[in-house]
Amino acid sequence: MPLFNYRIVTDKGAVLEKEADAAEEKSLRRELEEKGYFVLKIQPSASSASGGGGAVKDLGDAYRSFGEILSSAKSKDLFHRKRAIKGRDLIVFNQELLALIKAGLPILQCLDILIERVGRGRLAGILSKVREDVRGGSHLSESLEKHPQISRLYAAFLRVGETSGTMAEVLQRYINYLKIVEGIQQKVINAMIYPLILLAVVTAVILFLVTYAVPTFAEMYKDFSSHLPLPTIVLMRFTSFIKTNIILIGFLVLSSAVAFRIWFKTPSGRLAVWNFILKVPLIKDVINRYFISQVARTLALVLGGGIPLLPSLEIVRDSVTNPILAGRIKNAAVKVREGTSLAAAFESEDVMESLPTQMVHVGESTGSLEEMLKAIADLYDEEIALNITRMTALMEPLLMICMGVLVAAIVVTMYLPIFYLGGAAG
């Protein structure tokens, strides 16, 4: 009879992995469920599937397909070691975790079920390692902290839930937070879709003109090269240079992108890029308001979870992607530790603008800091949506005008010789 590997959860929450002979998978599953076990996985045993082909197995990786190697590498996080888990994936994961916890399942059993549901990928690989740590006696939050793809905010929140015994409530608060943040990011993405599509279409048109239309005209004008207008000569030489050196140009562009990516990962590179971004006229206001909203909402979340102010500021600092603002929050935390109020520390370090800083002061004075921080976040979320709408309304006609002028300039430059030669002949 075929041999199957199976993983089950006993009525006491223990997870067991065993082998058994069975006629088929369905009959084995039915047998295990009748004994009161919760079946997580059943699959044919490797030794059974190989059919005694030990010699082939001993060859190891030499006979594995390229796809299998890539799949194995991806499951081990070789290519995505430090990339954060997507917000949408975290929302789905936490919603399922919340449902399982509300059902009264032990955390180890919850992890086993969630790993089966997630399948392959970075999150599944992380959860598998977390499950082994939890099985060895570690807390869920303690194990998650070992993985840089998981935010420190999430791990800290889980620790609060584990300590206070309010895991379900903590998870619900975190899910609500993720949904709001994801909603804001989605608004930004949706607002930029049309300008990006417009930019891509016009870029494609310009590339067509430069690589096909202009060389075609150049071939027509080759007998009149000494009588061509200067703009036409310059454009023809420019397009000829691009066609001749297209491989070199592509290599230089790719090399520059890789070099920029490496440089951006350095502290000085990140600071330089963010200094530049925060000075761009059209987007600096939106970005500043976004980070004020992020700081206020995150701080409200951790304070509402019962975390003291100083650890909360450290968590907020780690959750902010803007290194300039992160440094200001760090300095503000030092002043709070020395006895300065939060509002005064924020004001002196320029963490927030005047209005939200005054609202923080009111929240501290009245004992309603969490509610005031939420009000700041809501207020700035509305301003972000309004500014994005205005920005896109301004960008669309500007893009169309700029690209239209550029395309028209290329077309007119190529038709200039016709008018020029026609006038000379007349």
Lowest mean pLDDT among 14-18, 169-173, 199-203, 226-230: 14-18
Highest average pLDDT, of 34-48, 108-122, 225-239, 368-382, comes from 368-382
341, 364 contact by CB (below 8 A): yes
Closest by alpha carbon to 172, among 220, 102, 240? 102
pLDDT of 238 higher than 80: yes
pLDDT digits 0-9 by tens, 252-274: 999 999 999 999 989 888 899 99
Q: Residue 423 — very low, low, confident or very high, per pLDDT cuts 50/70/90?
A: low
Task: Assess whether 170 and 219 both reside in one domain.
Answer: no
| Single-letter amino acid code for the residue at 158 | L
Using alpha carbons only, what angle is made at residue 204 by residues 203 and 209, rounded to the nearest 5 degrees?
A: 95
Nearest of 92, 83, 101, 93 to residue 166 by alpha carbon: 101
Q: 128 and 36: one domain?
A: no
Which pLDDT score, from 0 to 100, does residue 58 have?
36
Residue 74 placed within a domain: no
pLDDT, tens digit (0-9, with 9 covering 90-100), for 95-124: 888 888 888 888 888 888 888 887 777 788
Please check whether residues 230 and 347 belong to one and the same domain.
yes
Band (72; pLDDT cuts 50, 70, 90): very low
Check whether residue 118 and residue 242 sit in a common domain: no
**In this structure, are 246 and 384 located in the same domain?**
yes
Q: Same domain, yes or no, for 141 and 266?
A: no
Could you identify the residue written with the tokens 């006979």?
63
277-319 pLDDT per residue, tens = 888 877 888 888 889 998 998 898 888 877 888 888 888 888 8
Residue 213: its pLDDT value, please? 81
400 pLDDT exceeds 80?
Answer: yes
Residue 29, pLDDT > 70, answer yes
142: domain range?
87-177
Question: What value does the mean pLDDT of the chain take?
Answer: 79
If 0-12 CB within 10 Å is exposed, 13-18 middle and 19+ buried, where does residue 238 land?
exposed
Q: In the numeric block, which tokens belong to residue 49?
A: 């599937």
Region 373-385: what's the mean pLDDT?
A: 89
pLDDT for residue 46? 62
Which pLDDT value is given to residue 56? 33
Count the domains in the chain: 3
User: Both 234 and 164 in a single domain?
Assistant: no
Which range is most confident: 60-69, 79-88, 305-314?
A: 305-314
Write the CATH number for 352: 1.20.81.30
